[in-house]
Structure 1
Amino acid sequence: MEVRWGGSNVDQIRLFAKELVALQPDLIVAQGTPVTATLQRETRTIPIVFVVVTDPVGEGFVAALARPGGNITGFLTSEAAIGAKMLELLTEIAPGVKRVAMLFNPDTAPGGGMYYFRDFEVAARSTKVEPTAARARSDTEIETIVTSLGGFRGGLIVMPDFFMLNHVRSIIMLAARNNVPAVYPWRYVIAGDGGLISYGPDLREIVRRGATYVDQILRGAKPADLPVQIPVKWEMAVNVRTAKALGLIVPPSIRLRSDEVVE
């Protein structure tokens, strides 16, 4: 078994994709949209099973979710409506927010970030919150965005892409420093790093399910015939200590729905 990890480094991902395809493996497991897209450009014959991908039809990885039709299939990690759900949680735990920024890197987020933003924007209008598409490609841009929210009763929604994953600890520190309530898509950052609240799919469960397709393909199944699967388990976590530091009270409705409450 060969393993490569390029993080959010696009050049490194390209290099690793070429290396793996040159080895002519029986199958490649791809984690994330940028990795899957790069591998697709390198091969149309080696079977690819993706995990942690959001919009495989829109990205051109598969013809349809029910029947992929090519050498790629796998497991969705999210859906367009997640932004609207995260906004709902943000306004529930921080009802005073007037402006909410959706933070993403347009180079690594699905559809340049618009895949998530459209539903988020509609939901924001209905709650009379000003929605903002906050595009960031560097630490400096992230800091500018989060700092600007601190003076405008602003809130933050962090979208699930690899760039944001690699910068999430600095985002959490900036949010705390500027008194900005934020929602994250990864449960582990709530207890581990002091994030306020999270909502997203169980990523470990998605990866485990991915192993079932690896097994089927190695036994002779074709990716073209294996339907793309949706997440079946969603998780929510909240950090009461972080809420108190921000001057917020975690409502009972959020406590009861959370899979993890950090006191």
Structure 2
Amino acid sequence: MREIVPAASLIAAVLNPGTPYAALAYRELETAARVAKIELRAFEVRSPEEIPPQLEASKVAGAGGLAILEDPFTFSQRTEIAAAASRLRLPAIYGYREFAEAGGLMSYGTDHGKQWRRGAEIIDLILKGGKPADIPVEQPTTFELVVNLKTAKASNITVPPTILVRADKIIE
């Protein structure tokens, strides 16, 4: 986000406070924001009706961009969130590639399909008699950057070449 809007002093974290993940992810974002010397402010969404006014409130507050924290609710509303961010010309980053595929500007995160397949493999091991205690804990080792240039053009957002060259997928 710093490369997309280098002058931004405030980034809005859009989150559903009803999910335990939101508090954990927000704390991690706060740490990163402090290091980057960017103010981070939470904007809470609990229902579809709250999405447009909360994103508008973030823009009025001076947010230069959005970080959307994913959970089942925000994931189910990804098209609406992406459309509202685009309409407001607010660059947004998401953790799941499905957000970028639904019209969001960019996503950076793990390949969730790969994680789900690996989870199925582990369940298969257990069902075949493997002891859960013998199966090592695994963490993702690869992350993918997806950039939606259609959204960037429609929102009049310039994506720097430094991001495009690192992108794993570009949606045109």
TM-based fold match above 0.5: yes
Q: CA offsets, 1:15-42, max 9 Å, x none?
A: xxxxxxxxxxxxxxxxxxxxxxxxxxxx
Residue matched to 1:161: 71
Segment of structure 1 superposing worse, 203-212 or 219-228: 219-228
Match of 2:155 among 225, 230, 246: 246
Structure 1's consecutive aligned runs of 4 or more residues displaced over 6 angstroms after TM superposition are none
Bigger CA radius of gyration: 1
Whole-angstrom CA distance in 2 between matches of 1:224 and 1:107: 31
2:130 maps to 1:221: yes
Stretches of structure 1 that go unaligned for 5 or more consecutive residues are: 1-89
Match of 2:83 among 173, 179, 185: 173
Residue matched to 1:232: 141
> 1:156 is aligned with what amino acid?
L
Match of 1:128 among 27, 31, 37: 37
Root mean square deviation of aligned Cα = 1.7
2:113 maps to 1:204: yes
Whole-angstrom CA distance in 2 between matches of 1:131 and 1:96: 14
Whole-angstrom CA distance in 2 between matches of 1:173 and 1:143: 9
Match of 2:5 among 94, 98, 102: 94
Whole-angstrom CA distance in 1 between matches of 2:8 and 2:14: 16
Seq. identity, %: 39
Taking structure 2 as the reference length, what is the TM-score of the superposition? 0.89
Cα distance, 1:168 vs structure 2: 0.9
Segment of structure 1 superposing worse, 194-203 or 244-253: 244-253
> 1:104 is aligned with what amino acid?
L
Stretches of structure 2 that go unaligned for 5 or more consecutive residues are: none
Q: CA offsets, 1:201-239, max 9 Å, x none?
A: 001111111122122111111223323311133111112
Q: CA offsets, 1:61-84, max 9 Å, x none?
A: xxxxxxxxxxxxxxxxxxxxxxxx
Cα distance, 1:149 vs structure 2: 2.2
CA distance change for structure 1 residues 255 and 208 in 2, over 3 Å: closer, same or farther? same
Alignment length (residue pairs): 171
CA distance change for structure 1 residues 116 and 189 in 2, over 3 Å: closer, same or farther? closer
8 A Cα contact 2:43 2:58, kept in partner: no
Determine helix, strand or coil for the equivalent of 1:94: coil
8 A Cα contact 2:75 2:99, kept in partner: no
> 1:244 is aligned with what amino acid?
K
> 1:218 is aligned with what amino acid?
L
Cα distance, 1:95 vs structure 2: 1.9
Determine helix, strand or coil for the equivalent of 2:165: helix
Cα distance, 1:165 vs structure 2: 0.4
